[in-house]
Amino acid sequence: MPMPEFDARILELHTQRFKAYEVEVVRKAKLKERAQKNENARNSRRAAFLKRLGIDAKLMDAEEKSDFEYEGKALDAFLKEFRPAMAGRKSMRAMDAKWAAVRNAALGEANHMVLNPYAADIYSTSADTFDANTGESGVGAINSGWIFPDDPSHIRVKDGGHVGAACFEAYAGGPDPAFSVHFGFVPAATASYEMTAVLAFHGFYVLRSNDSWWNCRHAHARLNVSMNVNQYVDHGWHNFPPLIDRSEQNIEEIVNYDQTKFFDYTAVLRAGDPVVVTVRGELDALGVGGNTYAELNFEAGTANYIWPLFLSVNQV
């Protein structure tokens, strides 16, 4: 299939999928706006309830403020002490390349088709978060955005956030940052094909939360991956078990994540017509409560990135 036709098909899929992402951006923004409107009424009811219990709400507010200031200083010190080492560690790209070369040779001897990534795209609720990537980009609804990185084999993406100083504060965040890598080929025969995408993940996550009996802090970090095959239409998304799934109330840690993962999809495909295989990842890092912190980072420095090494295709 000529390259311009692959470009057109991938652009069509990108447009459809980003529109769906924008819908979620708008939906969650409306939920957040509604929650904020209701917050004042909730606060009045809570104050009245505490008064009936004989509890001085001003004392609770003062304690919350004092604790917020203390936790803020502790968080700053924690990040300053431990995060630079994660952001500045040595790149593992040379090791990834050697590993991929050995696997490619073996798969070629077994008559597997081995494909490099053709294109990649990244979605975010904040279009200003693409500083680590270069490439064609665009802005969507409520400052959401997308970018096609110039190098689809070097994806750099992150997520992080902390919300609210109050235990009961309502929250409805936007959809998670997402990346997709696309592979393309034309089947030689009408048959069942097994497609295995291999991605190297190099990054780190940070979790910090100090939950007590009188507040409700927690922090979580999740990395979800799914895979789809498109020939004429989508065959459907296959969701894999989360690669990272941590949710803690009392924690203070920074963890390296260096893994090479295999993602499989089997589908019956028709000879002679283009196929686009997409692997999609979604990052979700959030700290809820005053001066909690969560970060999932495949972007910082030169050592943190996602490398789609190849797609192996085998007729079965």
**pLDDT tens track for 55-69:** 777 777 776 776 677
Question: Which stretch, 10-19, 55-64, 128-137, has highest mean pLDDT?
Answer: 10-19
In the predicted structure, residue 23 carries a pLDDT above the cut 50: yes
**Report field, pTM of the whole predicted structure over 0.95:** no
pLDDT of residue 127: 76
pLDDT of residue 61: 72
Q: What is the mean pLDDT of the chain?
A: 88
What's the half-sphere exposure (Cβ side, CA atoms, 13 Å) at 140? 22
In the predicted structure, residue 46 carries a pLDDT above the cut 80: no
Three-class SS of the chain: CCHHHHHHHHHHHHHHHHHHHHHHHHHHHHHHHHHHHHHHHHHHHHHHHHHHCCCCHHHHHHHHHHHHHHHHHHHHHHHHHHHHHHHCCCCCHHHHHHHHHHHHHHHHHCCCEEECCCEEEEEECCHHHCCCCCEEEEECHHHCEEEEECCCCCECEEEEEEECCCCCCCCCCCCCCEEEEEEEECCCCCEEEEEEEEEEEEEEEEEEEECCCCCCCEEEEEEEEEEEEEECEECCCEECCCCEEEEECEEEEEEEEEEEEEEEEEEEECCCCCEEEEEEEEEEEEEECCCCEEEEEECCCCCCEEEEEEEEEEEC
Q: Which amino acid is at 288?
A: V
pLDDT digits (tens, 9 = 90+) for 302-311: 999 999 999 9
In the predicted structure, residue 132 carries a pLDDT above the cut 70: yes
pLDDT digits (tens, 9 = 90+) for 86-109: 999 999 999 999 999 999 999 999
* Percent with pLDDT over 70 in the chain: 91
pLDDT of residue 124: 92
In the predicted structure, residue 263 carries a pLDDT above the cut 80: yes
Across 136-154, average pLDDT: 92
If one compares 204 and 6, the residue with the highest pLDDT of the two is: 204
> What residue ranges do the domains of the chain occupy?
3-315
In the predicted structure, residue 169 carries a pLDDT above the cut 80: no
In the predicted structure, residue 208 carries a pLDDT above the cut 80: yes
Average the pLDDT over each of 39-43, 247-251, 297-301 and give the range with the smallest value: 39-43
pLDDT of residue 1: 47
Query: Angle, nearest 10°, between helix axes 3-52 and 57-87?
Result: 150
pLDDT digits (tens, 9 = 90+) for 223-246: 999 999 999 999 999 999 999 999
Q: 71 pLDDT band (50/70/90 cuts)?
A: confident
Task: Give residue 268's Cα distance to chain centre.
Answer: 30
Q: Quickly count: other Cβ atoms within 10 Å of residue 69's Cβ.
A: 12
pLDDT of residue 154: 93
Average the pLDDT over each of 15-19, 172-176, 263-267, 289-293 and give the range with the smallest value: 172-176
